[in-house]
Structure 1
Amino acid sequence: MQSVVNLTVHGIGPISHELDPGEGDFWVGVEQFEQVLDAVVGRQDVRITFDDGNSSDVEIALPRLLERGLTAEFFVPAGLLGEQGRLDSDGVRELVGAGMRVGSHGWAHRDWRKLTPEQVDQEFTDSHRLLSELTGRQVSRVAIPFGSYDRRVLGMMRRARVTCAYTSDGGRAQPGTWLQSRDSLRRDLDAAWISDVLNGAPSLPLRARRLAARAFKRVRG
């Protein structure tokens, strides 16, 4: 079975709200985003995902995806809907109406390794319920905030009946696996970065480091 490249988009174009520390490194320009889309057209081995529920998902990304006949999956923090610079309920419905898929990015963009019991209910139960109501479809797929997970988080996701979980581990993934690694678009991306991520083969040392990091995350906690 052919492996896939999962790309993550966080924000595009002008920044309209305060970002978390370091988040600006993953905010790209419109032309950079278009470069990526043009490189992806016709590629069956590339999936496009969006995290954080930024308003640029609908205002900038959606029309450009549709122009190229592309689809994507948008992971939304349900508790932040309607905040400054974020998607609102109508935006979520617009994505679904345009043929896009919507999943959960939790409730309040918290680190899932640091949740209290009450927050666990919000992040998994409340978020899935609200997004399922908005989309009219059962939401059971997630993107892990900050890519932060451990053995405890994996257990929480299993108990919440998560059917697929996207990480930020980098590198290609097998289409049917429960944990899906992704590569995030970065502020400094260029044509060389796009070619390397889509077509390049990681060196043996890099592959070894990635495998070791994933193994460590699965057992820590």
Structure 2
Amino acid sequence: ELVRRNLTELFAPESRRVVLELLASSVDVSTAPQLQRYMKECGARTEKFGPRAATVARPPIIDNELYVRDYSKCILCYKCVEACGTDAQNTFAIGVAGRGFHAHIATEFEIPLTDSACVYCGNCIGVCPTGALMGKTEYEMRAARTWEESRQTRTETICPYCGVGCGLTVHSQNGQIVKVSSPLAHSVTQGNLCIKGRFGWQFTRPKI
């Protein structure tokens, strides 16, 4: 037992570091703060395998007005699949397609999201740890370099659309709502919302 524990303490940190370096060499982790923190703690170097390393880079998929799917940032944690499935929504609009390095998150038969079973609850966005799934407003603001999370205020409130009483966290920047999320610890929602709760705020933004 002592030998096993010593070997674990010896090799586990190195294994974690190598896994993180392999992950960072193939996936864009620029919007994954938790993963970046792990890499810093483990001493992982994103540039270790150089520019010749194979990546999962692909153009973002923008096929609806509510959120963007950028699978070049996907680490295949499957949290979105679970949220769309039995963990929350039971819609099963997305799953894992392909095998090995070519495995990726997809709709059934790779059809457009607008033709799938998706109900646009956005619960997949709520659990995505890397920004592979992101509200369209946030995506566009980040692209324009106007997304400033440090300047945003968060207001806890209740969704007004029905009588369930879902808890909302309203993210505002420069006097405008830019995002709505839900606290994971909320006794009613546990982080989950419907399309109205997560995206219904967009009527407050001026039309261009």
TM-score interval, smaller chain = under 0.3
In proportion to residue count, which structure has more helix? 1
Which has the greater radius of gyration? 2
- Provide TM-score, normalisation by structure 2: 0.26
- Provide TM-score, normalisation by structure 1: 0.25
